[in-house]
């Protein structure tokens, strides 16, 4: 199988590197210093599941790549539509574009740009971020992908993708209920992205403080209530299950939005807590925790503030 990776950060980088190390034809679409570093020194993943792909196929010109079987689409939520302009040269009649964004609306937004039949839903479970150009640091011992066709079918291309992930040693699951799968990640992700950003502390520190642990549970419950009002297959038991998952997250980890906040980058806030708040208003569901998170972080939504 031929792969292209768009968004060579804490998600696309480690998974793409694993596929390349396993011998698959992988091209990384990047730009700027990150691209230059990869072209010169390869792509390095430090920390957990460390690997160094010395000879990397990397470019900023997708027309030089041609059609591929699968695109790992791992850009930030704010770039879903704009980065889609890179896709046409990479797409054949049956190319799968695996959306690995953090939110719950990326697949719908992407389909509006490239049309039906290409987008697969997916969630990536990993804690990693670009450390320096060409170097990604992974702090989680796990690196999982759950994915599936939006219609719930086990298509030939989905089965082939699962086999490729397995060959590359990537823990994966082919889901026939991808909407629920995406929302199950969103329950914890939206909440922990907001909580680690607002407090500027780690997952472990949040768990150890009873008051913030109570806020985490309440935030997760709000997302469940919003999802159920929208018609998503969620239950009250999911609140307990996701709180348990938070208990198993690496104690030293922080959500990628917290890293972006620290670095002065634009935040994915409108598609995380901001989306929970807007859907809560739409469906008449109170969202006090996410309203607080959204209100506090809105000052930094577009990146570092210029206080000069």
Burial class of 99 by CB neighbour count within 10 A (0 to 12, 13 to 18, 19+): buried
Spatial distance between the Cα atoms of 206 and 216, rounded to a whole number of angstroms: 8
Model pLDDT, residue 308: 35
Do residue 122 and residue 19 come from a single domain? yes
Element (H, E) at 6: strand 2-6
Confidence class for position 307, pLDDT limits 50, 70, 90: very low
Domain count, the chain: 2
Give the pLDDT mean for 289-299: 97
Helices (H), 68-209: 80-83, 106-114, 156-167, 178-199, 203-208
Do residue 89 and residue 195 come from a single domain? no
208 lies in a domain? yes
Q: Are 294 and 273 in contact (CB under 8 A)?
A: yes
308 lies in a domain? no
CA angle 211/213/216 to nearest 5° reads 115
Q: Are 252 and 129 in contact (CB under 8 A)?
A: no
Q: Of 122, 147, 176, which closes a domain?
A: 176
Question: Domain containing 282 — which CATH number?
Answer: 1.10.1040.10
Question: Domain containing 41 — which CATH number?
Answer: 3.40.50.720
**Which tens digit of pLDDT belongs to each residue from 12-63?**
999 999 999 999 999 999 999 999 999 999 999 999 899 999 999 999 999 9
* DSSP count for the chain of H helices, then E strands: 12, 12
Do residue 144 and residue 191 come from a single domain? no
Give the Å distances, CA to CA, from 129 to 7, 61, 71, 257, 263.
11, 23, 20, 10, 12
**Which tens digit of pLDDT belongs to each residue from 135-182?**
999 988 889 999 999 999 999 999 999 999 999 999 999 999 999 999
């Amino acid at each position: 199988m031929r792969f292209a990776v768009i968004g060579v950060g804490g998600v696309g980088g480690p998974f793409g590197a694993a596929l390349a190390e396993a011998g698959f034809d992988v091209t990384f679409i990047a730009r700027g210093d990150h691209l230059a570093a990869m072209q010169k020194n390869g792509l390095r993943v430090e920390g957990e599941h460390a690997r160094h792909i010395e000879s990397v196929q990397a470019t900023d010109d997708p027309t030089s790549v041609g059609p591929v079987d699968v695109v790992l689409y791992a850009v930030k939520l704010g770039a879903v539509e704009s980065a889609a302009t890179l896709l046409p040269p990479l797409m054949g009649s049956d190319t799968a574009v695996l959306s690995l964004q953090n939110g719950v609306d990326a697949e719908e937004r992407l389909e509006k740009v490239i049309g039906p039949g290409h987008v697969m839903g997916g969630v990536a479970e990993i804690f990693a971020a670009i450390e320096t150009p060409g170097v990604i640091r992974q702090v989680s011992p796990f690196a999982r992908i759950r994915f599936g066709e939006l219609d719930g079918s086990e298509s030939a291309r989905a089965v082939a993708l699962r086999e490729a992930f397995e060959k590359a040693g990537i823990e994966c699951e082919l889901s026939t209920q991808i909407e629920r799968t995406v929302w199950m990640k969103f329950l914890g992700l939206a909440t922990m992205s907001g909580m680690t950003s607002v407090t500027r502390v780690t997952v472990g520190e949040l768990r150890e403080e009873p008051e913030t642990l109570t806020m985490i549970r309440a935030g997760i419950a709000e997302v469940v209530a919003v999802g159920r009002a929208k018609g998503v297959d969620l239950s009250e038991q999911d609140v307990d299950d996701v709180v348990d998952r938070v208990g198993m997250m690496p104690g030293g980890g922080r959500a990628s939005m917290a890293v972006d906040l620290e670095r002065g980058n634009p935040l994915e806030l409108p598609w995380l807590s901001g989306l929970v708040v807007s859907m809560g208003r739409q469906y008449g569901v109170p969202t006090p925790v996410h309203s607080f998170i959204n209100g506090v972080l809105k000052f930094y939504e577009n990146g570092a503030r210029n206080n000069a």
